[in-house]
Amino acid sequence: MALIKTQPTPESVTEEVRRHPRDCAGLLAQLTDPDPTVRRWAARDLADCPDISPVLVERLHQEADVSVREVIVTTLTGLGDAAAVAGLVECLRSEDAALRNEAIEAMRQLPDAVAPIMRGLLADPDPDVRIFAVNILESFCYPEVEAWLIAVIDHDPHVNVCATAVDLLGEIGTLAARESLLRLKARFANEPYIRFAADLALERLCES
Amino acid sequence: MNPDPETVDPIITESDFQKFREFFYRKTGIQFDSSKRYFVDKRLVERIAATGTGSFRGYFMLLRFQVNGDELQALTNLMTVNETYFFREEYQFQCLVGSLLPEIVARKTDRRPIRIWVMPSSSGEEPYSIAIYLLERWVGIHHWDVEIIASDIDTRILAQARQGLYSQRSVQYLPPDYLKRYFKRRAEGYQISDDLRQSVEFTRVNLSERADTRNYRDFDVIFCRNLLIYFDDVSRKTATETFYDALLPGGFICLGHSESMSRSSSLYKVRKFTNAIVYQRPLETP
Nearest to B146 among A3, A105, A109 (CB): A3
Question: Rounded mean pLDDT of B163-171?
Answer: 93
pTM: 0.77
What pLDDT score does B3 carry?
Answer: 43
Q: Which residues does B282 contact at the CB level (< 8 Å), separation at least 6? A: B249, B250, B267, B268, B269
**B107 in a labelled binding site:** no
Q: For residues B173 and B85, what is the distance between their CA atoms, to the nearest angstrom?
A: 8
| Alpha-carbon A124 to chain mean position | 16
Residue A74 and residue B285: Cβ atoms within 8 Å?
no
Output the pLDDT for position B230: 76
B28-44 residue pLDDT tens: 878 888 888 888 999 99
pLDDT band for position A143 (cuts 50, 70, 90) = confident
Active site (annotated) includes residue B4? no
pLDDT (mean) for A51-78: 94
Q: How far is B1 from chain A (nearest CA, A)?
A: 46
What sign does the dihedral B191-B194-B197-B201 (CA atoms) show?
positive
Is the torsion defined by CA of A136, A56, B209, B256 positive or negative? positive
Distance of alpha carbon B77 from alpha carbon B60, whole angstroms: 16
Burial of A53-63, coded b for 16+ CB within 10 Å and e otherwise, reads bebbbebbeeb
Which of the following is catalytic: B37, B43, B47, B197? B43
Q: How confident is the model at residue A14 (pLDDT cuts 50, 70, 90)?
A: very low
Helix (H, G, I), strand (E, B), or coil: what is residue B221?
Answer: strand
Question: CA B39, B42, B48, B51 torsion: positive or negative?
Answer: negative
> What are the tens digits of pLDDT across the range B262-276?
777 889 999 999 989
d(CA B97, CA B137): 7
- For the segment A164-205, what is each residue's pLDDT rounded down to a tens digit? 999 999 888 889 999 999 999 999 999 999 999 999 999 877
Q: Does A44 touch chain B (CB under 8 A)?
A: yes
Q: What angle do CA B282, B267, B213 make, to 5 degrees?
A: 90
In chain B, CATH 3.40.50.150 sits at 90-280
Which region holds residue A27: left if phi is over 0, alpha if psi is between -120 and 50, else beta? Answer: alpha
A20 pLDDT more than 70: no
Q: With a cut of 60, say whether residue A10 has pLDDT above it.
A: no
Lowest mean pLDDT among B1-5, B120-124, B176-180, B204-208: B1-5
CATH number attached to the domain at A21-109? 1.25.10
> B128 or B260, which is more confident?
B128
Please provide the CATH number assigned to the domain covering B5-79: 1.10.155.10
Q: Residue B144's closest CA among B196, B90, B103, B101? A: B101
| Candidate ranges B17-31, B70-84, B206-220; pick with highest mean pLDDT | B206-220
Q: Give the model's pLDDT for residue B83.
A: 67
pLDDT at B81 over 70: no
pLDDT of A13? 46
Average pLDDT, chain A: 89
Q: Where are the domains of chain A?
A: 21-109, 118-208
What is the predicted pLDDT for the residue at A12?
44
What are B221-241's pLDDT values in tens digits? 999 998 887 787 888 899 999
The third-level CATH classification (topology) of the domain covering B90-280 is Rossmann fold (3.40.50)
Catalytic residue among B16, B41, B152, B220: B152
Whether the Cβ atoms of residue A36 and residue A68 lie closer than 8 Å to each other: yes
Q: Does residue B16 have an active-site annotation?
A: no
User: Residue A21 has what pLDDT?
Assistant: 63
- pLDDT given for residue A171 in this prediction: 81
pLDDT at position A15 over 50: no
Task: Report the range of poorest mean pLDDT among A107-121, B67-81, B141-155, B192-206.
Answer: B67-81
- Taking CA atoms, A148 is separated from A144, A158, A177, A204, in Å, by 6, 16, 11, 18
The predicted structure's pLDDT at residue B64: 78
Is 80 exceeded by the pLDDT of residue B54?
A: yes
Mean pLDDT of A91-117: 91
- In chain B, list all ranges with CATH 1.10.155.10: 5-79
Residue that wins the pLDDT comparison between B64 and B115: B115
In A, minimum Cα distance to B142 occurs at: A1
B82 annotated as a binding-site residue: yes
